[in-house]
C-alpha cells in the first residue's frame, strides 16, 4: 500500500470517528432552543435537581479523594502478594455495567441485602436517600481516580522519596512533601475523569437510590424523567451537563500546559559542560 | 509477498464487514414477513408473550409513545391508558385504537411488610419509602387520581417518594424491600405474588383503567403480522389469557 | 550505600556507627533511614524538582541552610529550580542538602562518574578540600582508581559482591592482593607458571620468556610489575640479575609530565628526557628491564 493511500485511509477513519463523536453533541446544541435554556433551567423542579447533584457529588468526590489517594499510594509503592489482584478489584467497577453496580449495592446495603439487617437495626436505611446516591457515585467513579492515581504515583522517580528518607523525613512526611506534589498532575487528571463520570451517573443511582425528587434525583435522572414530561427541559439539562463537563475538561487542559512536568529526577548520565562558579 | 499480505488482510476485512452488514440487512427483511414488533405497556409483560409470538418491547407507555413518534420500528402499540394511543392516532401514526383490557390499582408492600403498612391511610403518617409512577406514565397518573379522590394527595409529599417511569420498577423495588410500599396494578401483584402482599384500594376510588391497542403505520412492511397479533389479543384466546392474568375485559 | 542508609535490607550482618547498631540481623535491629544519621549523595543527585535550591538544601534541617549555600557557592541559585542548573551546580546542591542534616557519615555514590574529564579534575580537587575540611567519615564509590588514590585513606575493592582487598590506599597500590586489584591500580599483569627457586621463583610467562621474582610461589600466577618500575633501554642489559622483555613500541603518550610507552604487552613509564634519548617512537625496538624484587606474584582470576 502506498504512502499516500495509507495516509488517506487513516484520514478517512479519523474523519468518520470524529464526526460520529461530535454529531450527538452538535445535534444537542442545534435541537435545543438555546434562547429558552435559562428559563427552562429556572423551572422550580431544577432547583432540587441541581442541589441534589451538587451535594451528592461534592461528598462523593471528597470521599474518593480522601480514601482513593492513600489507596493508590499503597498500591503504587508497595509490592506484596495479591497486589495485582487488589489492583484488578479497584478497576472492576470500570467494566461493570452501571445497573449491575446498582444491583450489587442493593444486594449489599439494601433492605434484604447482606448488611440490610445490621443497617436497619442501626436505624439506617440507604435506598431513597441521598447517601445512596453518594455511594452509587463513589462506587462507579472511584476507579477512574484510583487507577490514574496509581499511575501518577508510579511515575514518581523512586529515588526522590528515597532521598527524602535519608534526609530524615519519615514515610508520612515523605508522602506529603515529595510523592504527593510530584504526582499532583496525574491525580488531578484522574479526578477530572472521576468527577465527570460521577455527575453523569445514572444506572446505579436509579436502581439503588431510586428517583426521589429533592433527595436522589440528580441531573441525569432528571433528564430521564423529563424526556416524557418536558422534552425541551430534558434537552436543556443535557446542554447544562455538556457545558459543565466540558468546562472542567478545558480548565484542566489549560492548567496542565502551564505546569512544568517535574515528576522525575534528571537523567543521571547527561554529560554537562560545567559552568563552574 | 509482504505487500500482498497487507493488501490481502485489508481486502479480507472489507469483505467480512460487507458480509456481516449484508446478512444483517437480509435478516431484517426476512423478519418482516414473520413476527410483528410489539411495543406494549410494562404491565402486559407477562400476558402478551403468552398470547402470541412477536418481538416485544415493554416499557412505560409514555416512553414507548415517544419512541414511536421518533420513528422506532414498532408494528403494534398497546398502552395502559387511552392517552398515549389516542395521541399517536391523532398524529396519524397509528390506526384507530381499540380497548382490549382493563385493570385495577392496588397498594403493594413487601412480603414481610417492614413499614407496617396496613392500608393506604397508614401512609398518612409520612416518612415511608414509597414507589409510585411518575406523573407522565399511566400508573402515575392513575395513582394521583386515586389519591386525589381519597383526599390523600399529601402522602406524596409527606413520604419519601421515588418516581418510577416503569411500573415493573415499582414492583421490583417493593419486592426487594427497597420500598416499603408501592402503587401498581393487580396484575403486577399476580406476577410478583410470592414476594409482595396486596392491599386493596376502595372500589369507589378506582380510576377507569383502559388498555388500548392499535397498529402503527409505517412504511415498508406488510401489515399481516401486526393485524394477526391484534386479532389474537382481542379474540377469544387473548381474552382468556388476559383474564387469567388478572385483567378485566371490556364488554 | 543503600544498605548503610537503610534503603535496602541486607540478608544478614551488622551495620554500626560509633558502637550504635543501625542494622543487626541477629539482634533483629533495623533502623529506618530517617533514624540513621546519613548524608547520601546519589549518583543522579535526586534533587527535588518541584522545590527551589533553598528548599532542597533545607529539607533535612534549616539551621545550616545559609551557611551551606555560602560554603558551596550556590547562594546566588537559592531560588532556582534544579532543572535550570548545570551538572556541577546540581552536585553541589546535592552535597549541601546531604550535609544540612549534620550527618554522622557522608555517603557519595560515584560522584565523578557522570562528569567529563575537565570537570572531573576540578570536582576531584573540590572534594579533596571538602573531605579534609569536614572531618566526617565519608564513604564513596568509584570505578576509577585514580579517584580513590586522590581522595581516600582506605580502599576496599569489591568484585561481584565480594571484597577482594581492604587496605590503606598506598598498600593497595603497592601490594595488590590479586590480579583484578593489580590491573585496577594500573599494573602490568603477565600470566605464567611459577616454579620455586632459591631466593624466590622463576616464572615461565605465557609470552614465552622466563623472568625471576623475589617472591615464592608455584603453579599458575600473574606476575605484577608497575609501569614506573620498568626501565627502558635500547638493548638488553648484560646484568643477569635483571629481568628483560623485548618488544616493539606501540602507543606513546604524554600524561601528567610522564611519558607512557606501550611496549608489546607492557605499559612502561619514563621521563620525557629518556624518551627522547632513546628515540622512542612507534615501531621502534626496545627492551624493558626490571629487577626481580619489583615482581609481585598474585593468584590469577580463573577465566
Give contacts of A273 with chain C, Cβ < 8 Å.
86, 116, 119
Same domain, B40 and B87: yes
Q: What is the pLDDT of residues B118-175, one digit of tens each?
A: 999 999 998 899 999 999 999 999 999 999 999 999 999 999 999 999 999 999 999 9
Residue B251 falls within a domain, yes or no?
no
CB atoms B177 and A229 under 8 Å: no
Q: A125 CA to chain B: closest CA distance, Å?
A: 9
On the question of pLDDT at B33 being above 80, the answer is: no
Compare all CA atoms of chain A with the CA of B4 and give the residue at the minimum distance. Answer: A1
- CB contacts < 8 A (A, B): 69
Provide the pLDDT for residue A57. 96
CB atoms A127 and B161 under 8 Å: no
Residue B183 falls within a domain, yes or no?
yes
Q: Is A180 on the interface with C (CB under 8 A)?
A: no
Sequence spans of domains, chain C: 2-170, 186-298
* Greatest alpha-carbon span in chain A: 76
C–A contact: 3+ Cβ pairs < 8 A? yes
Q: Which of A45, A111, A125 best tests the B interface by mutation, with the highest count of B CBs <10 A?
A: A111
B–A contact: 3+ Cβ pairs < 8 A? yes
C-alpha cell at A169: 523525613
The answer to whether C252 and C279 have CB atoms below 8 angstroms apart is no
Chains interfacing with C (3 or more CB pairs < 8 Å) = A
In this complex, the residue of A1, A111, A229 whose CB is nearest that of residue B114 is A111
- Domain extent, residue B131, equals 105-205
**Rounded Cα gap, residues C185 and C176, in angstroms:** 8
Among the listed residues C56, C148, C58, C45, the one whose alpha carbon sits nearest the alpha carbon of residue C88? C45
Q: B231 CA to chain A: closest CA distance, Å?
A: 30
C-alpha cell at B200: 386493596
In this complex, the residue of C32, C88, C101 whose CB is nearest that of residue A275 is C88
Provide the pLDDT for residue B3. 60
C-alpha cell at C119: 570537570
User: What is the DSSP secondary structure assignment for residue B209, as one 8-state letter?
Assistant: -
Same domain, B189 and B145: yes
Among the listed residues C21, C34, C59, the one whose alpha carbon sits nearest the alpha carbon of residue A166? C34
**Rounded Cα gap, residues B59 and A128, in angstroms:** 22
Same domain, B120 and B194: yes
CB atoms A211 and B162 under 8 Å: yes
Q: A142 CA to chain C: closest CA distance, Å?
A: 27
In this complex, the residue of A168, A169, A265 whose CB is nearest that of residue C46 is A265
Task: Please list the pLDDT of chain C residue by residue as tens digits (303 residues).
Answer: 899 999 999 999 999 998 899 999 998 899 999 999 999 999 989 999 999 999 999 998 888 899 999 989 898 988 999 999 988 889 899 999 999 988 999 999 998 887 787 888 888 888 888 888 888 899 999 988 888 888 899 999 998 888 988 999 888 888 888 888 888 888 899 999 999 988 888 899 888 888 888 888 888 999 999 988 888 888 877 777 788 888 888 888 888 788 888 888 888 888 888 888 888 888 888 888 888 888 999 888 665
Provide the pLDDT for residue A35. 85
Q: A-contacting residues of B 118-177, CB under 8 Å? A: 129, 131, 134-137, 160-165, 173, 176-177
Kindly report the pTM of this predicted structure: 0.80
Provide the pLDDT for residue A20. 96
Percent of chain B with pLDDT over 90: 74
CB atoms A211 and B134 under 8 Å: yes
Q: Is C115 on the interface with A (CB under 8 A)?
A: yes
Provide the pLDDT for residue C302. 62
Residue B155 falls within a domain, yes or no?
yes
Place of cell 495509507: A6
Provide the pLDDT for residue C126. 86
Range with the poorest average pLDDT among A46-60, A262-276, C119-133: A262-276
CB atoms A268 and C115 under 8 Å: no
Q: State the average pLDDT over residues A21-37.
A: 88
**CATH code assigned at B221:** 3.40.190.10
Pick the CATH number of A50-219 from 1.20.1250.20, 2.30.42.10, 1.10.3720.10, 3.20.170.30: 1.10.3720.10
On the question of pLDDT at A163 being above 90, the answer is: yes
Same domain, B93 and B147: no
CB atoms C122 and A170 under 8 Å: no
Same domain, B196 and B117: yes
Give contacts of A162 with chain C, Cβ < 8 Å.
2, 7, 33, 42, 46
Same domain, B131 and B179: yes
Residue B5 falls within a domain, yes or no?
no
Q: Is B88 on the interface with A (CB under 8 A)?
A: no
Q: State the average pLDDT over residues A54-65.
A: 96
C-alpha cell at C292: 626481580
C108 beta partners: C41, C140
Give contacts of C100 with chain A, Cβ < 8 Å.
167
β-bridge pairing C29-30 and C20-24:
antiparallel
Counting beta carbons within 10 angstroms of the beta carbon of residue C252, is it exposed (0 to 12), middle (13 to 18) or buried (19 or more)?
Answer: middle
Compare all CA atoms of chain A with the CA of C60 and give the residue at the minimum distance. Answer: A167
Provide the pLDDT for residue B4. 60
The end-to-end CA distance of chain B, in Å, is 78
Among the listed residues B136, B176, B179, B187, the one whose alpha carbon sits nearest the alpha carbon of residue B161? B179
Count structural domains, chain B: 2
Provide the pLDDT for residue C10. 92
C–B contact: 3+ Cβ pairs < 8 A? no
Average pLDDT, chain A: 87
What's the Rg (C-alpha) of chain A?
A: 23
C-alpha cell at B90: 391523532
Compare all CA atoms of chain B with the CA of A223 and give the residue at the minimum distance. Answer: B165
In this complex, the residue of A116, A128, A211 whose CB is nearest that of residue B129 is A128
User: What is the DSSP secondary structure assignment for residue B35, as one 8-state letter?
Assistant: P
**Rounded Cα gap, residues A241 and A268, in angstroms:** 47
Residue B27 falls within a domain, yes or no?
no
> Exposure string (b/e) for A185-198, b if CB count within 10 Å is 16 or more?
bbbbbbbbbbbbbb
Provide the pLDDT for residue A274. 38
C-alpha cell at A247: 468546562
Measured torsion, CA atoms of residues A87, A90, A92, A96, in degrees rounded to the nearest 10: -170
Provide the pLDDT for residue C257. 82
Sequence spans of domains, chain A: 50-219
Q: A149 CA to chain C: closest CA distance, Å?
A: 18
Place of cell 422550580: A44
Superfamily of domain C2-170: P-loop containing nucleotide triphosphate hydrolases (3.40.50.300)
Helix (H, G, I), strand (E, B) or coil at C6: coil
Percent of chain B with pLDDT over 70: 92
A47 phi-psi bin (left φ>0, alpha ψ -120 to 50, beta other): alpha
| Angle separating helix axes A44-77 and A231-258, nearest 10 degrees | 40
Provide the pLDDT for residue A45. 85
Residue B22 falls within a domain, yes or no?
no
Q: Is A27 on the interface with B (CB under 8 A)?
A: no
Provide the pLDDT for residue B202. 93
CB atoms C114 and A275 under 8 Å: no
In this complex, the residue of A110, A129, A227 whose CB is nearest that of residue B177 is A110
Give contacts of C123 with chain A, Cβ < 8 Å.
274
Q: Which of A3, A124, A128, A234 best tests the B interface by mutation, with the highest count of B CBs <10 A?
A: A128
User: What is the second-level CATH architecture of the domain C186-298?
Assistant: Beta Barrel (2.40)
Residue B210 falls within a domain, yes or no?
no
**Rounded Cα gap, residues A179 and A157, in angstroms:** 9
The answer to whether A197 and A241 have CB atoms below 8 angstroms apart is no
Give contacts of C116 with chain A, Cβ < 8 Å.
271, 273-274
Same domain, B119 and B179: yes
C-alpha cell at C89: 551546580
Using alpha carbons only, give the angle A40, A46, A50 rounded to the nearest 5 degrees.
Answer: 130
Helix (H, G, I), strand (E, B) or coil at B63: helix
B31 — pLDDT class (breaks 50, 70, 90): very low
Same domain, B135 and B68: no
Q: What is the pLDDT of residues B176-228, one digit of tens each?
A: 888 999 999 999 999 998 999 999 999 999 999 999 999 998 776 678 899 99
Provide the pLDDT for residue B61. 94
Amino acid at each position: 500500500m502506498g504512502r499516500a493511500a495509507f495516509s488517506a485511509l487513516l484520514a478517512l477513519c479519523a474523519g468518520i470517528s470524529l464526526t460520529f463523536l461530535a454529531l450527538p453533541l452538535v445535534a444537542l446544541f442545534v435541537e435545543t432552543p438555546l434562547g429558552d435554556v435559562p428559563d427552562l433551567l429556572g423551572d422550580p423542579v431544577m432547583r432540587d435537581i441541581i442541589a441534589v447533584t451538587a451535594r451528592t457529588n461534592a461528598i462523593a468526590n471528597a470521599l474518593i479523594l480522601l480514601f482513593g489517594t492513600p489507596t493508590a499510594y499503597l498500591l503504587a509503592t508497595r509490592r506484596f502478594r495479591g497486589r495485582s489482584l487488589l489492583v484488578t478489584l479497584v478497576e472492576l467497577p470500570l467494566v461493570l455495567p452501571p445497573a449491575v453496580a446498582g444491583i450489587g449495592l442493593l444486594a449489599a446495603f439494601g433492605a434484604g441485602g447482606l448488611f440490610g439487617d445490621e443497617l436497619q437495626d442501626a436505624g439506617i436505611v440507604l435506598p431513597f436517600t441521598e447517601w445512596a446516591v453518594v455511594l452509587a457515585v463513589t462506587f462507579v467513579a472511584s476507579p477512574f481516580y484510583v487507577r490514574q492515581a496509581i499511575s501518577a504515583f508510579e511515575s514518581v522517580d523512586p529515588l526522590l522519596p528515597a532521598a527524602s528518607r535519608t534526609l530524615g523525613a519519615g514515610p508520612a512526611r515523605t508522602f506529603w512533601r515529595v510523592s504527593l506534589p510530584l504526582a499532583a498532575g496525574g491525580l488531578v487528571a484522574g479526578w477530572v475523569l472521576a468527577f465527570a463520570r460521577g455527575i453523569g451517573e445514572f444506572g446505579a443511582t436509579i436502581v439503588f437510590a431510586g428517583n426521589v425528587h429533592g433527595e436522589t434525583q440528580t441531573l441525569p435522572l432528571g433528564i430521564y424523567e423529563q424526556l416524557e414530561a418536558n422534552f425541551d427541559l430534558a434537552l436543556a439539562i443535557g446542554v447544562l451537563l455538556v457545558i459543565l463537563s466540558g468546562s472542567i475538561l478545558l480548565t484542566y487542559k489549560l492548567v496542565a500546559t502551564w505546569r512544568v512536568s517535574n515528576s522525575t529526577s534528571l537523567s543521571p548520565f547527561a554529560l554537562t559542560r560545567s559552568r563552574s562558579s | 509477498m509482504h505487500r500482498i499480505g497487507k493488501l490481502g488482510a485489508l481486502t479480507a476485512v472489507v469483505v467480512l464487514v460487507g458480509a456481516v452488514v449484508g446478512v444483517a440487512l437480509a435478516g431484517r427483511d426476512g423478519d418482516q414477513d414473520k413476527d410483528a414488533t410489539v411495543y406494549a405497556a410494562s404491565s402486559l409483560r407477562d400476558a402478551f408473550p403468552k398470547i402470541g409470538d412477536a418481538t416485544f418491547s415493554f416499557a412505560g407507555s409514555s416512553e414507548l409513545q415517544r419512541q414511536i413518534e421518533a420513528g422506532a420500528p414498532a408494528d403494534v402499540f398497546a398502552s395502559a391508558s387511552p392517552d398515549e394511543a389516542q395521541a399517536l392516532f391523532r398524529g396519524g401514526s397509528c390506526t384507530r385504537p381499540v380497548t382490549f383490557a382493563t385493570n385495577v390499582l392496588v397498594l403493594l408492600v413487601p412480603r414481610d411488610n417492614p413499614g407496617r403498612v396496613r392500608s393506604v391511610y397508614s401512609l398518612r403518617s409520612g416518612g415511608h419509602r414509597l414507589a409510585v409512577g411518575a406523573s407522565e406514565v399511566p400508573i402515575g397518573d392513575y395513582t394521583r387520581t386515586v389519591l386525589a379522590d381519597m383526599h390523600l394527595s399529601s402522602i406524596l409529599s409527606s413520604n419519601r417518594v421515588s418516581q418510577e417511569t416503569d411500573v415493573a420498577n415499582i414492583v421490583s423495588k417493593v419486592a426487594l424491600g427497597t420500598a416499603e410500599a408501592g402503587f401498581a396494578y393487580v396484575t403486577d401483584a399476580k406476577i410478583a405474588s410470592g414476594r409482595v402482599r396486596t392491599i386493596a384500594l376502595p372500589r369507589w376510588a378506582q380510576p377507569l383503567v383502559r388498555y388500548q391497542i392499535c397498529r402503527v403505520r409505517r412504511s415498508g412492511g406488510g401489515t399481516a403480522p401486526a393485524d394477526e397479533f391484534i386479532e389474537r389479543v382481542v379474540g377469544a384466546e387473548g381474552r382468556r389469557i388476559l383474564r387469567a392474568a388478572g385483567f378485566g375485559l371490556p364488554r | 550505600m543503600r544498605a548503610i542508609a537503610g534503603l535496602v535490607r541486607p540478608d544478614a550482618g551488622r551495620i554500626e556507627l560509633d558502637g550504635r547498631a543501625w542494622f543487626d540481623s541477629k539482634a533483629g535491629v533495623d533502623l529506618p533511614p530517617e533514624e540513621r544519621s546519613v548524608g547520601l549523595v546519589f549518583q543522579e543527585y535526586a534533587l527535588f524538582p518541584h522545590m527551589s535550591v533553598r528548599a532542597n538544601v533545607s529539607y533535612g534541617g534549616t539551621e545550616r541552610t545559609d551557611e551551606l549555600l555560602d560554603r558551596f557557592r550556590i547562594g546566588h541559585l537559592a531560588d532556582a529550580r534544579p532543572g535550570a542548573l548545570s551538572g556541577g551546580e546540581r552536585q553541589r546542591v546535592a552535597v549541601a542538602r546531604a550535609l544540612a542534616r549534620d550527618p554522622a557519615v557522608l555517603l557519595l555514590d560515584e560522584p565523578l562518574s557522570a562528569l567529563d574529564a575537565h570537570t572531573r579534575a576540578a570536582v576531584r580537587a573540590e572534594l579533596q578540600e571538602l573531605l579534609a575540611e569536614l572531618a566526617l567519615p565519608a564513604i564513596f564509590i568509584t570505578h576509577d582508581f585514580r579517584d580513590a588514590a586522590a581522595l581516600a585513606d582506605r580502599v576496599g575493592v569489591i568484585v561481584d559482591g565480594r571484597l577482594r582487598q581492604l587496605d590503606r590506599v598506598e598498600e593497595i597500590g603497592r601490594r595488590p592482593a590479586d590480579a583484578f586489584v593489580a590491573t585496577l591500580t594500573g599494573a602490568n599483569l603477565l600470566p605464567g607458571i611459577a616454579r620455586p627457586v632459591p631466593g624466590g621463583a622463576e616464572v615461565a610467562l605465557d609470552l614465552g620468556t622466563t623472568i625471576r621474582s623475589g617472591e615464592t610461589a608455584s603453579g599458575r600466577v600473574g606476575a605484577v610489575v608497575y609501569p614506573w618500575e620498568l626501565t627502558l633501554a635500547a638493548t638488553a642489559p648484560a646484568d643477569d640479575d635483571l629481568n628483560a622483555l623485548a618488544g616493539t613500541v606501540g602507543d606513546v603518550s604524554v600524561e601528567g609530565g610522564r611519558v607512557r610507552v606501550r611496549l608489546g604487552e607492557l605499559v612502561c613509564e619514563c621521563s620525557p628526557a629518556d624518551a627522547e634519548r632513546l628515540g622512542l617512537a612507534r615501531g621502534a625496538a626496545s627492551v624493558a628491564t626490571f629487577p626481580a624484587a619489583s615482581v609481585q606474584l598474585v593468584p590469577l582470576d580463573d577465566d
